[in-house]
């Protein structure tokens, strides 16, 4: 197979670099290819030609990427749109997986203890007064909660808190804090969910209405 393939579509040209080829050779071939193209189109009135470099299952280092960018910078008629790869590096993947992870916690969270999670949490245990649970995603409460629940930390307004909210002291979603007092504690019962409404304050509704609300949540958050 050839080291590089040039393809054209309505968005411009794509250069496919074979991921099995030696990178130095492939880059050399890319340079030769572009130089040929350039020789053939020297008319300054031509539109700018867009290029996308696709590296397949190869992940370029920052040095390699800047090498390609510098090369394209030499040709004012050619513009490098993007350098794309079919793969992601492990750290980035781990981060994404973590953010989408569903954690499960049982047992007692005691006064003075604070648990932090990346992603969502299914809480089966008991959360005592003066303790706190903090997640970047949503929280589903199947146990008992008396302390403080923080969902969507620090700024995920899509997050919500579902389930048994009876007896809770404080709910926090993203940057909004709701204090449960004698006046509003009747709203916080089992089978409810709390979310951030259009006015950017915390609302509580029956779990049965979640589907209707989901639409609102989806529209707002895109």
Q: Give the residues lining the site for other proteins (CB under 8 A).
A: 108, 110-113, 126, 128-130
Least distance CB 222 / other proteins (angstroms): 41
Choice between 30 and 149, CB closer to other proteins: 149
Which letter, b or e, does each residue of 17-38 get, where b requires 16 or more Cβ atoms within 10 Å of its Cβ? bbbebebeebbebbeebbeebe
Least distance CB 144 / other proteins (angstroms): 10
Choice between 38 and 113, CB closer to other proteins: 113
Query: How far apart are alpha carbons 50 and 43 in whole angstroms?
Result: 16
Cα 3 off chain centre by:
34
Least distance CB 187 / other proteins (angstroms): 24
Choice between 129 and 200, CB closer to other proteins: 129
Q: Three-class SS of residue 54? A: strand
Least distance CB 104 / other proteins (angstroms): 19
Choice between 130 and 205, CB closer to other proteins: 130
Least distance CB 129 / other proteins (angstroms): 6
- Helix/strand number for the chain, H first, E second: 4, 18
Least distance CB 113 / other proteins (angstroms): 5
Burial of 121 by CB count in 10 Å (0-12 exposed, 13-18 middle, 19+ buried)?
Answer: buried
Contacts of 102-110 spanning 24+ positions with Cβ under 8 A = 103/135, 105/133, 106/143, 109/133, 109/147
Query: How far apart are alpha carbons 8 and 178 in whole angstroms?
Result: 55
Choice between 148 and 173, CB closer to other proteins: 148
Choice between 64 and 113, CB closer to other proteins: 113
């Amino acid at each position: 197979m050839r080291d590089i393939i040039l393809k054209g579509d309505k968005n411009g040209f794509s250069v496919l670099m074979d991921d099995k080829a030696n990178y130095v050779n492939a880059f050399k071939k890319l340079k030769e290819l572009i130089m040929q193209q350039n020789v053939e189109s020297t008319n300054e009135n031509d539109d700018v030609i867009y290029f996308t470099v696709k590296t397949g299952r190869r992940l370029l280092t920052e040095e390699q990427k800047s090498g390609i960018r510098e090369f394209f910078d030499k040709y004012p008629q050619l513009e490098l749109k993007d350098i794309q790869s079919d793969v992601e590096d492990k750290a980035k993947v781990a981060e994404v997986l973590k953010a989408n992870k569903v954690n499960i916690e049982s047992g007692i969270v005691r006064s003075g203890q604070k648990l932090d999670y990346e992603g969502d949490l299914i809480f089966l245990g008991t959360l005592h007064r003066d303790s706190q649970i903090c997640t970047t995603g949503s929280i589903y409460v199947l146990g008992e909660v008396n302390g403080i629940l923080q969902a969507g930390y620090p700024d995920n307004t899509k997050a919500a808190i579902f389930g048994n909210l009876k007896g809770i002291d404080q709910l926090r979603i993203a940057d909004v804090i709701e204090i449960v007092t004698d006046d509003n504690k009747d709203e916080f019962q089992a089978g409810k969910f709390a979310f951030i409404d259009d006015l950017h304050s915390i609302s509580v509704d029956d779990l049965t209405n979640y589907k209707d609300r989901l639409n609102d949540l989806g529209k707002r958050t895109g």
